[in-house]
Chain A
Amino acid sequence: MNIPAQSLINSLTDIQSGFAYLWPEIILTFFFLLLVGLDLFKATAVKIMLPFVALAGIVASIMVQVNDLNNIASISIKHFFVGLLISDGLAIYAGLLFSVAGIFTIVLSLLNQNLKVKFSGRGEYYAYLLVLLTGLNLMAKSVNLLMLFVAIELVSIASYLLTAVIKKQRNAMESGLKYILYGTLASGVMLYGMSFLYGFGGSLNFTDTLFWQNLSRLSSPIFIAVFLLTFAGFLFKVAAAPFHFWTPDVYEGAPVPVVAFFSTAPKIAGFVVIIRFLIQIRNHLATILQDDLILLIGGAALITLVIGNFTALWQRKARRLLAYSSVAHAGFVLAALAALADNSISAILFYLTVLLFMNFGIFLIVQIFEDKLEVADLNGLSGLGKTYPFLGILAIIFLISLTGLPPTAGFTGKLLLFTNIWQNYAATGNSFLLVLLLSGLLLTGVAFFYYIRIPYFLFFKRNLSEGKKVMLLKENIILALLAFPVLFIFFQPSWLTNVIEQVVLYSK
C-alpha cells in the first residue's frame, strides 16, 4: 500500500463528485432504509402505507432519471468512482425502464390477493424490491468486473428472497430454494470465468483498451472457454439456454408481480451488460476471435429459441407457458446481438421496452385468472372470453404483441430485430446470420401456435363451469393503460425510436 497522498486525495474527490451520478441509487437506498424502519411499527395504517412509500421512492428516482435523460447531452459519457461505474445513455435508459417495471410491480402487488395487508412479509417485500432495483441500476452502470459481480449478486440475492417471500406457500419456498442453488452455480461459473479474464487481461475494467489487447493474444479455444464461462452468469440473468432451467420453476412458484418483474427488469439488465461487453469486443478485439464470438452468441441464441418455443408447445399452465415464452424472447434478442453490430442496440432497446409493457400486461391477466377467477391451467380458460369480453380482447392484444403480429408494438419490435439481422447479414455475408434469421422467422410461427391457444380457449371453447361473474374495474383500467402503449407504439413508433436514438448516441 504505497499510494501517494495526492493520488488518494484525487481518488477521494473523484468518489465525492461521483455521488452526483448516483442519485437514483441513493434515493432507492434511502427509501429502502425508511421501509425497513417503518416496518417495525405494527399499526395497520403504517402497513397500508408501505407500498406507497416504496412507490414514492421509485417515483423520486424516476424523476431524477427522466431529468438525466433530458439532459443527456450535457451529462455525456462519464466514468466515476475510480472507473467502477459509468453514467451513459444506456445506463440511464435502462434505469428508467427498471423504475417503470418497479412501479408496475407495485401496482400489480396492490391488486394481488396473496400480498394483501394481512400478509406478514409486507415490509420486507417492498424493501427487497427497492434493493433489487438498486442492484439493477448498479448492474447497468458497472464497467468493472468486480463491481459487476457484486451488482449481479445483489440482484440475485434480492430475487431469491422475493421468490420465497410468501413463506406459507410450499412451492414458493421450493422455487426460492431452487433459484438460490441454481443461481449460485451460475454465479460460481461466472466468477470462474471472470477470474480468468482478470488473469489474462490484467485489468478488472473491461472498458480498458489494454485489457482487450491482452486478451487478443489468447488462442481461440481458451478465449472461447473463458468467455463462455463468464457469459454463463449473464445468460442466467436473461434466462437463456443453457442456463434457463430456473425459469419455469421460479415462474410457477413466485408471486405473479415478482414473476412479471423477473421477466422484464433483470432481463433488461442482463442484456445491458451483454451489450456493454459486445461493444467493447467489437471495438477492441481481434477479428478472428470476433467470428468465434458470433458463433458463440448465435449458437446460444439458436438453442434458446428452439428450447423456448418448442417446449412452450407442451405447457398446460399459463405460467409455465409464459416462462418458456420468456426464454424464447431472450433467444430473439440474443439472435440480434449475435451480429455484434452497433445498429443492433437501438432495435434491442426498442424490443425490450415493448416487452416491458406486454409482459406486465399478460402477467396481470394471469394474476386476474388466478386470483379472481381461480384458473391456473389453460383448459380452465374455456369460454371466459365471452363472460369477460374486455379482458378477452385485451388478452388477445397482448398475445398478438407477444407473437409479433400487427397492429401491435410487438410486431414493430420483431420487425426491427429481423431487419437488423438481415442488414447485418447483407453487410457481412456471414451465412450464420441468415440461419438465425430464418429460424427466428420459423419459430415465430411456432410461437403463434402456442400463444393463440389462449384466445382459442377464451373464445372458442365452451364454458363448462358456471362461475359467478366478478367485477374487474381496477384491473381493467390498469390493463387498458398497459395496452395503450402496445397499440400506440405500433402506429407511432417514432415516439420511441427518437428517444432510443438519443440514448444510443451517448452510450459507450
Chain B
Amino acid sequence: MNSLVLWALVVGVLPLFTFFILFLGGKKLPRRGDWLAITFTGISFLISLFLFLHIWQKEVVHVRFPWFELGGAGNQLVAFTSGIYLDNLSVLMLVIVTFISLLVQVFSVIYMHGDWRYHHYFAYLGLFTFSMLGIVLSDNLLLLFIFWELVGFSSYLLIGFWLEKDSATNASKKAFLFNRVGDIGFLFGIFVLYTFFGTFDLQILKDLVSGAIAQNNGFIFPNADGQTLSYTLLTLAGLGIFCGCVGKSAQFPLQVWLPDAMEGPTPVSSLIHAATMVAAGVYLLSRCFPFFTEDALLVIAIIGAVTALLGAIAACGQNDIKKILAFSTISQLGYMVMGMGVGAHDASLLHLVTHAFFKASLFLNAGIVIHAVHHAVAHYEADEFVDAQDIRNMGGLRKVLPLTFYAYIPATAALIGLPLFSGFLSKDAILSGAWAWAGYKSMGGNSLYYLIPVGGFSAVLLTAYYMARHCFYIFFGKNRLEIKPADYRHTPTKEASWLLLVPVLLLALFSIAFFFSPNPFDAGSSWFFQGLSLKQLLGSTTGLTGNMVNHITEYLHASSFIHVLTGIISVGLALVGIFIAWRNYQKASLKTNEELFAGQTGVLKVAHQHFYLNNFFENIFIRPFLSFSQEVAIFDKDIIDRSVNAFGKMMVILAKVIGWIDRKLVDGLVNFIAWLAGLIGKSGRLMQNGKIQSYYIFSLFGLILLILYILAF
C-alpha cells in the first residue's frame, strides 16, 4: 500500500482519537486535555502539508480496500470497496481543514475557558474534524454519505453545545432537520446512480459516465454496457445530489438553519458554519460534476445566484454581528454554487479556499469583539439588557482593539472583493465565468441567461454595502455605550490574549491576494487555479455536459474584454456600495439611540426577517404537519387505542376465566399433590416417634404387608 495513503489515514484518525480520549476521560486530564487536541490536530496539519507537497500537481493516489459483500442477482456476490482518494482537491482540503481547525482550537482555549463542558467541546471539535476529513478522503459516495451525516451530527452537537440555552438546542434541532431534508434528495441521487451503474465508487462512476453520447432525450453509455438512460432521470439524479448541497451549504430554500446556527460558540461558527462544513456541499458538487446534465447545472446556477442575492439582501437588514456574517456566508456559498452551475469549476473552488480563510478570520475577530463587548458590558451600569452582539452597541473599537481592527479590515476587503485581496481573485473569476456562460448559452438567442451574472453583480454591490456598514458601526465613530476603553481590554497593555490574536492575524494574512496568485488581478495566474481545473481533477474524462466547459473557456478567451470589464464593474460596484454605506452611517451616527433602535420598515424589515422564510416554513410545512400529526394522534387515541383497549378488555375477561380454571382446577391439582406428598412425609415422620418398641412393630408390620402384597399379585 502506498505510504501516502497510510499518512492520510493517520491524518484522519488522529482527531477521532482526540474525540474518544477527551470524551471518555477528558475530565481527568490536566487542563482537561485541550493540549492533547491541539497537539493531535497540529500533527494532522503537518502531515497534511507533507501530503500536499507530495501530491499537488504531482500524482493521484487512489487505494481501495475490500469493505463488505452482498448477495446480488444470479447468485453472485457484489463486492463493495472503500478507499482513499488523494488528488489536488483533497490534499488542498486536508490542509485547509486541519489548519483552520488547529487555529480555531487554539483560539478556543481562551474563548471557551471555564466552560463546564470544556473537554466535551474539544472532543466534539475532534469528531467534526475527523468527519470532515472523512468526506475529503472518501473515494465513494456511500462512505462519503456516512461522513456527511457524521459532520451533520457533530455540527448538531456543537450548535447545541450550550444546552442550557433553549435557543441553542432549538437551533441545533433546526439545523439537523433542515439538513435531513437535503439529505433525502442526496440519498435519492446516490440510489439512482447505484441502480443504473451498480457502484458507489466515484472513480468507476466517472469512467462509466465519460464518453456518454447524447441521443434524443437520453444518453447512451458505451462504457456501461451501452445502456441508455433518459435525460430527465439523470437530471433528477443530479438535482438529488445537489439537494445534499442545498442542505449542507445552506442554499435557497433551506438556508434558514444557518443564521440560527450562530447560537453555537463563535469559534464553532468560524470553523464549521463558515470555513469548512458548509463548503462541503461545494466540494460535493465538484466531485460529482460529471454527473450533472446541462439542465441540472442551470438549476444549480439559478439557485446559487438566488441564494447569493437573497443572502446579501438579508445581511443588509441585520444588526447582529454574527447574523451579518452568517448571511454573508450564505451569500458567498451562493456564489460558489453559482460558479459550479456556470461551469466555472476552478473559480468556485478557489473561492471556497479564499473564503475559508477570510471568513474564518472574520468570525474569530467577531468572537474577540463580542468577548470584549461582553466583558465591558459587565461593567456597564444599565437597567436594560445590552446585547453584546448588536453592532449598534459598539463603535470606536478601532482604538480600543487595534490589532483586531487590522485583522478585520483585510478580511472584510477580501469579502467585498477589493483588488489586492484574495476575494477579488476568486469572485471575479466566478463572475467572469458566469458572464461567459451567459454569453455562450444566449448564443441561441435567449438573453434571459444574463440574469445570472446580473444577480451576481448586484450581490457585489450589496456585499460591499453591508460589510462596510457593519465595519463602520463597529470600529469607527465613538462608542455609543460610553464605556471606558480599558474595560474592553484584556489588560491595559494588551487588547486580548495572544492565543486569540495569533490565529486571527494569521488568517487575516491569508486574505491578501499574493498568497494565492503572483498577479493579484488575475486569477488565471494563480497556482491553485491550474491545480483545481476540471482538466486536472477529471483528466480526459468528460461528464454528461460533454464539452460545455471547454466551449465556455474558449468563449472566454475569444472575448477577453469580459475579464477586464468584470474587474472594473465589480470594483466600481463595490466602491459604490461602500460609499452608500458611509452615507448611511453618517446619517445614523446623528441619530439618538432611540431612533437607532427603532424598528425597521419596508425592504429592510423584510430583509431583517429574512424574507419571512422562517414564517413561511413554519406556516406551510411545520404547522400543518404538527396539526396533521395531532389529528393522527387523536385518531390513534380515539379509534385505534380504543379498539385495542376493547380487545384488551376481552382478553382480560378471557384471562380471568382461564385464571379461575387455573386456580381452581390446575392449582388445586398441584396443591393436592403437594398436600399428598406432605401427608406421606408426615406419616413417615409419625412412625419415627423415637420409641424402639414401635419401630419393632412398624418393621414387622411392614414385613407382613410386603408378604401380603406379593401374595395378592
Contacting residues, chain B, for A306 (C-beta < 8 A): 680, 684
Cα-based distance from A300 to B711 in the complex (angstroms): 14
Indicate if the CB atoms of A228 and B681 lie closer than 8 Å: no
Tell me whether B702 is interfacial, beta carbon within 8 Å: yes
Q: Is there an interface contact between A228 and B695, defined as CB atoms closer than 8 Å? A: no
Asked whether, in the complex, the Cβ of B692 is within 8 Å of the Cβ of A446, the reply is no
Give which listed residue, B692, B703, B713, contacts A228 with CB less than 8 A: B703
Instruction: Report Cα–Cα, A313/B684, bound state, in Å.
Output: 10
A303 touches B702 (CB 8 A): yes
Contacts of A224 in B (CB 8 A): 707, 710-711
Q: CB distance A296 to B706 under 8 Å?
A: yes
Contacts of B698 in A (CB 8 A): 242, 245
B6 within 8 A of partner (CB): no
Chain A residues in 8 Å Cβ range of B692: 178, 181-182
Q: By the criterion CB–CB under 8 Å, are B688 and A228 in contact?
A: no
A88 to B68, CA, bound (A): 70
Instruction: Tell me if A245 and B687 are in contact (CB < 8 A).
Output: yes
Q: Is the interface of B mostly helix, strand, loop or mixed?
A: helix
- Closest Cβ of chain B to A204, distance in Å, is 23
In Å, the complex CA distance between A178 and B689 comes to 12
Asked whether any CB of chain A lies closer than 8 Å to the CB of B699, the reply is: yes
| CB within 8 Å for A242 and B702 given contacts A224-B710, A248-B688, A310-B684 | yes
Any B CB within 8 A of the CB of A185: yes
* Interface pair B710/A299, CB less than 8 Å apart: yes
Distance, CA A300 to CA B706, complexed state (A): 8
B690: Cβ under 8 A from any A Cβ: yes
**A295 at interface (Cβ–Cβ under 8 A)?**
yes
Complex contacts, A229 vs chain B, CB 8 Å: 703
Q: Let me know if A243 and B677 touch, CB within 8 A.
A: no
Q: A310 touches which one: B680, B696, B711, B713 (CB < 8 A)?
A: B680
Task: Kindly list chain A residues whose C-beta atoms are within 8 Å of the C-beta of B621.
Answer: none
Classify chain A: how many residues form its interface, as a range.
35 or more
How far, in Å, is B497 (CB) from chain A's closest CB? 59
Chain B min CB distance to A168 (Å):
21
Q: Is the CB of B696 within 8 A of A185?
A: yes
- Which residues of chain B in 81-107 are interfacial with respect to chain A, using CB atoms and an 8 Å cutoff? none
* A150 at interface, CB cutoff 8 A: no
Nearest Cβ in chain A — how far from B388, in angstroms? Answer: 62
The answer to the question of A189 belonging to the interface, with a C-beta cut-off of 8 Å to chain B, is yes
Whether, in the assembled complex, B561 has its beta carbon less than 8 Å from a beta carbon of chain A, the answer is: no
Taken together as a complex, chains A and B put the C-alpha atoms of A242 and B699 apart, in Å, by 5
Bound complex: CA A310 to CA B687 (Å): 13
Given A182-B695, A295-B713, A313-B677, CB of A249 within 8 Å of CB of B690 = yes
Interface flags for B283-296 (1: CB within 8 Å of A; 0: not) read 00000000000000
Q: Is A352 an interface residue (CB 8 A)?
A: no
CB of B648 closer than 8 Å to a CB of A: no
Question: Which of chain A's residues have a CB closer than 8 A to the CB of B222?
Answer: none
User: Do A299 and B706 form a contact, CB below 8 Å, given A182-B692, A313-B677, A313-B678?
Assistant: yes
Partner of B699, one of A243, A299, A310: A243
Q: Do B677 and A189 have beta carbons less than 8 Å apart?
A: no
**What residues of chain A lie closer than 8 Å to B702, measured between beta carbons?**
241-243, 303
Shortest C-beta distance, B531 to chain A (Å), equals 71
8 Å CB interface, B643-700 against A: 677-678, 680-682, 684-685, 687-688, 690, 692, 695-696, 698-700
Q: Cα distance A243–B702 when bound, in Å?
A: 9
**B680: chain A residues within 8 A (beta carbon):** 306-307, 310-311
Query: In the complex, A488 Cα to B544 Cα: how many Å?
Result: 76
- Per-residue CB contact flags for chain A residues 259-297 toward chain B (1 = under 8 Å, else 0) read 000000000000000000000000000000000100110
B699–A312 touching, CB < 8 Å: no
Within 8 A of B (CB), among A215-256: 220-221, 224-225, 228-229, 232, 241-243, 245-246, 248-249
Q: Which residues of A contact B706 (CB under 8 A)?
A: 228, 242, 296, 299-300, 303
**A249 CA / B713 CA spacing, docked (Å):** 34
The digit string for A169-194, where 1 denotes a CB below 8 A from any CB of B, is 00000000010011001100100000
With a cutoff of 8 Å between Cβ atoms, the chain B residues found around residue A228 in the complex are 703, 706-707
Q: Is the CB of A307 within 8 A of B684?
A: yes
Partner of A242, one of B677, B681, B703, B710: B703
The contact string, 1 if C-beta is below 8 Å from chain B, for chain A 58-101, is: 00000000000000000000000000000000000000000000
Contacts of A225 in B (CB 8 A): 707
Q: Mark B309-328, 1 if CB is under 8 A from A, else 0.
A: 00000000000000000000
Q: CB distance A245 to B688 under 8 Å?
A: yes
Asked if B681 contacts A310 (CB within 8 A), the reply is yes
Q: Which of A182, A303, A310 contacts B677 (CB 8 A)?
A: A310
- What residues of chain A lie closer than 8 Å to B678, measured between beta carbons? 310, 313-314
Shortest CB distance B696–A (Å)? 6
Interface positions of B from 428 to 477, Cβ below 8 Å from A: none
Q: Is B709 an interface residue (CB 8 A)?
A: yes
- The answer to whether A245 and B681 touch (CB under 8 A), given A224-B707, A296-B710, is no
Check A246–B695 contact: CB distance below 8 A. Answer: yes
Report the separation of the CA atoms of residues A224 and B704 in the bound assembly, to the nearest whole angstrom: 11
The answer to whether A299 touches B677, judged by C-beta atoms less than 8 angstroms apart, is no
Instruction: State in angstroms the CA–CA spacing of A225 and B705 once bound together.
Output: 11
What residues of A have a CB within 8 angstroms of the CB of B700 in the complex? 189
| A178: chain B residues within 8 A (beta carbon) | 692, 695
Whether A185 and B710, one on each chain, are in contact in the complex, defined by CB atoms closer than 8 angstroms, is: no
| Contact of B677 with A446 in the complex, beta carbons under 8 Å | yes
Query: Which chain A residues border B696 with CB–CB below 8 Å?
Result: 182, 185
Q: Across the two chains, which residue of chain A brings its CB closest to B690?
A: A249
Nearest CB on B from A296, distance (A): 6
Interface pair B681/A314, CB less than 8 Å apart: yes
B residues in contact with A313, CB < 8 Å: 677-678, 681
Residue of B whose beta carbon sits closest to that of A178:
B692
Measured in the bound complex, the distance between the Cα atoms of B704 and A229 in whole Å is 10
Query: Could you tell me the distance in whole angstroms from the C-beta of B289 to the nearest C-beta in chain A?
Result: 68
Contact with B along A437-455 (1 / 0, CB 8 A): 0000000001000000000
Expressed in whole angstroms, the Cα–Cα distance for A242 and B703 within the complex equals: 7
Residues in B with CB closer than 8 Å to A232 are 699, 703
B711 to chain A, nearest CB (A): 6
In the complex, what residues of B have CB within 8 A of residue A186's CB? Answer: 699
Asked if A189 contacts B703 (CB within 8 A), the reply is yes
Q: A446 — which chain B residues lie within 8 A by C-beta?
A: 677
Question: B688 is contacted by which of A185, A189, A300, A311 (Cβ under 8 Å)?
Answer: A311
Chain B residues within an 8 Å CB radius of A296: 706, 710
Q: How far is the CA of A143 from the CA of B407 in the complex (A)?
A: 117
Q: Which residues of B contact A303 (CB under 8 A)?
A: 702, 706
Q: Which residues in A have their C-beta under 8 angstroms from that of B701?
A: 242
Contacts of B677 in A (CB 8 A): 310, 313, 446
Given the complex, which residues of B lie within 8 Å of A243, measured CB to CB?
699, 702
| B681 with A185: CB separation less than 8 A | no
Query: Once bound together, how far apart are the Cα atoms of A419 and B608, in whole Å?
Result: 91
Enumerate chain A residues within 8 angstroms of B690, measured Cβ to Cβ: 249
- In the bound assembly, the distance between CA atoms of A178 and B695 in angstroms comes to 10
Complex: chain B residue closest to A248, CB-CB: B688
Chain B nearest Cβ from A315, distance in angstroms: 8
| Mask of A298-321 contacts with B, CB within 8 angstroms, 1/0 | 011001001100111110000000
| Distance between Cα atoms of A220 and B710 in the complex (Å) | 10
CA gap between A245 and B688 in the complex, in Å: 7
B681 touches which of A220, A241, A311 (Cβ 8 Å): A311
Contacts A189-B703, A242-B703, A311-B685 known; 19 new A-B pairs at CB < 8 A: A185-B696, A189-B700, A224-B710, A228-B706, A228-B707, A245-B687, A245-B688, A245-B695, A245-B698, A246-B695, A295-B710, A300-B706, A303-B702, A310-B678, A311-B684, A313-B677, A313-B678, A314-B685, A446-B677
Where the two chains meet, the residues of B that have a C-beta atom closer than 8 Å to any C-beta of A are 677-678, 680-682, 684-685, 687-688, 690, 692, 695-696, 698-703, 705-707, 709-711, 713
Can you report 10 residue pairs joining A to B where beta carbons are below 8 Å apart?
A178-B692, A181-B692, A182-B692, A189-B700, A224-B711, A295-B710, A310-B677, A310-B684, A311-B684, A311-B685
Q: Which 9 A-B pairs have the closest CB atoms?
A: A242-B702, A311-B684, A310-B681, A245-B695, A310-B680, A313-B681, A307-B684, A314-B681, A311-B681
